[in-house]
Structure 1
Amino acid sequence: MALGTPAAPAAPGDPAAVVAAERAFANRAGEVGIAPSFLEYMADDAIVFAPDPLLARAVYGARPPGKAPRDGGTRLNWWPNFAGVARSGDLGFTTGPATINGKPAGIFYFTVWARQPDGGWKWVYDGGIEADGAAAPGPDSTPIALPPGDAKPLAAAAAMEQVRSAEMALAARARTDAAQAYKAVLAADARVQGSSAAPATSPEAVDRQLAARAHAVAFGPLGGGASKAGDLVWTYGDARWDEGRGHYVRIWQRRGGKWSLVFDQIVAVQKP
């Protein structure tokens, strides 16, 4: 007689594994501290903005480990409010608020995760913005899941090529009207971050976020990656506008044979 029933495999597009990896990452930070946990959970080619794109291992490896929270060190905690994963289960993301020593940090993080050959997950990008998190769901809330993208497979290389074309078109239009450039590709359920206001989670809030940005923005792609199923792509690059600059991070999803932008975050480089 079987002693138990094997767990059913996750449905395509179910981000439960990515959410679990994010929660384990945050829990580990509460045990050993920020730098050691980030080094433990990052992929070898992971990047951060510091303030420009750098290999995360070089950035965190150069930092002293500091005290663990139990020994009086800073306790950084965070949790996902929104998450998604590719149908192939190899690329995903989460985003949500954070606390420092139990108090709201006014930070919204964004992490891109890649499944490793051993089946585990490592992050390939981690960053965030300063934003109002007063209304964000708490740590025990269930994250909203991105609906699955197209089921018909597409080669990862072809997916990247198609998204590069979509980004080129967005960038060309954004040089004169960034808001309209975004509206041409944003999904109805897209999330947009970048201002000090709460991250936009509705079409009306997205309009307000876009209106808070510069009217004209020059974008330049730098990198990213695609899922094996070719349904999910993440990208990052430069963003420049009058009297300011920063970097963008995006999630593109293939829906109905077309690419839609489902997440966009602009991280401004603070002036010295």
Structure 2
Amino acid sequence: MSRVPARRLTAFAGGIAILALAAGPADARRRPEYAPGVGTANPSALVAAEIAFARTAREKGQWKAFDEFADDEAVMFVPEPVRARDWLSGRKEPAAPVQWQASQVWMSCDGTLGVTKGGWQQPDGSVGYFTTIWQRRKKGDYRWVLDQGDTLPPAQAVPNSDTLSASVADCARPGERSEPEALVVEGKAPKTAPGMDGKGRSKDGTLRWSYHVNADHSRSLSVSLLKNGTMTEVLRSDVAAPKAQ
């Protein structure tokens, strides 16, 4: 489970997240801070997706939920990168579910791509964090395209979900490129096994992500957001190589 971060979000935690996003001036300290723009970004939609994801895990099973909410080309790490739906097919459900809480959200200006991060807890007391990349479908709902995470030492606190922070990319000006054309990845990857390197971006190019997996299966994930005219790294996750069994 340390490198396939199965997670479960309770309705209570989800309610806190929604309240944090919708809070009024009296609770401004808990409101997500992001720059206004002319796009259609809606960070609360990702929180709603996490809540629905978790509800399905409770009602239908953990791996069933992962499969149901996965994009056709979704990638996860076990620890090598695999096509999620292939790996999940016929997977036996765990005896006891884990719990998770989203604590941070990043989203492109146009709302076509977003990222959630938070902490998870196992019934045996182990803890960790997760990072999930969500892509908006034509019908307007979200499906995850990449999910990863790792365990954390017991003494290290998991991300705090008491307050939810959100950051939305600046909107690119008409005719302005948000990143060099060579870095733009349009459309979905072909239906082949995922490679040791992968990347993607929102339709407007204001949010992009990339991962790299080394030969020993250590890996890194980077997420960048358009801020003040520059693509700025807002999240980096480095996961060590798995220990020999």
Q: Could you say whether these structures have the same fold, taking a TM-score greater than 0.5 normalized by the shorter chain as the test?
A: yes
| Superposition deviation, residue 137 in structure 1 | 2.5
- How many residue pairs get aligned? The number is 196
Question: Partners of 2:201 and 2:46 in 1: how far apart?
Answer: 16
Give SS of 2:218's match: strand
Q: Is the 8 A contact 2:120 2:158 kept in 1?
A: no
Change beyond 3 A, Cα 1:41–1:131: same
Other-structure match for 2:133: 112
Other-structure match for 2:56: 28
TM-score normalised per structure 1: 0.63
Query: Does residue 97 of the first structure (1) align with residue 119 of the second (2)?
Result: yes
Other-structure match for 2:164: 143
1:231 to 206, 212, 233: 206
Q: Which amino acid aligns with 2:64?
A: P
Other-structure match for 1:216: none
Q: Which one has the largest radius of gyration?
A: 1
Q: Which amino acid aligns with 1:19?
A: V
Question: Partners of 2:100 and 2:43 in 1: how far apart?
Answer: 17
Other-structure match for 2:104: 82
Change beyond 3 A, Cα 1:90–1:271: same
Question: Partners of 1:156 and 1:54 in 2: how far apart?
Answer: 32
Other-structure match for 1:212: none
| Superposition deviation, residue 60 in structure 1 | 1.0
Q: Is the 8 A contact 1:149 1:231 kept in 2?
A: yes
Structure 2: gaps of 5 or more residues: 1-37, 186-194
Change beyond 3 A, Cα 1:12–1:157: closer
Which structure has greater helix proportion?
Answer: 1
Structure 1: gaps of 5 or more residues: 1-9, 67-72, 165-219
Other-structure match for 2:142: 121
Question: Partners of 1:154 and 1:64 in 2: how far apart?
Answer: 50
Relative contact order, higher structure (CA 8 A, sep 6+)? 2
Give SS of 1:79's match: strand
Change beyond 3 A, Cα 1:258–1:77: same
Q: Which amino acid aligns with 2:199?
A: G
Question: Partners of 1:92 and 1:129 in 2: how far apart?
Answer: 20
Q: Which amino acid aligns with 1:137?
A: N
Q: Is the 8 A contact 1:84 1:146 kept in 2?
A: yes
Query: Does residue 161 of the first structure (1) align with residue 185 of the second (2)?
Result: no
Percentage identity across aligned positions? 29
Question: Partners of 1:107 and 1:160 in 2: how far apart?
Answer: 36
Q: Which amino acid aligns with 2:209?
A: W
Change beyond 3 A, Cα 1:90–1:163: closer
Question: Partners of 1:271 and 1:120 in 2: how far apart?
Answer: 38
Other-structure match for 1:208: none
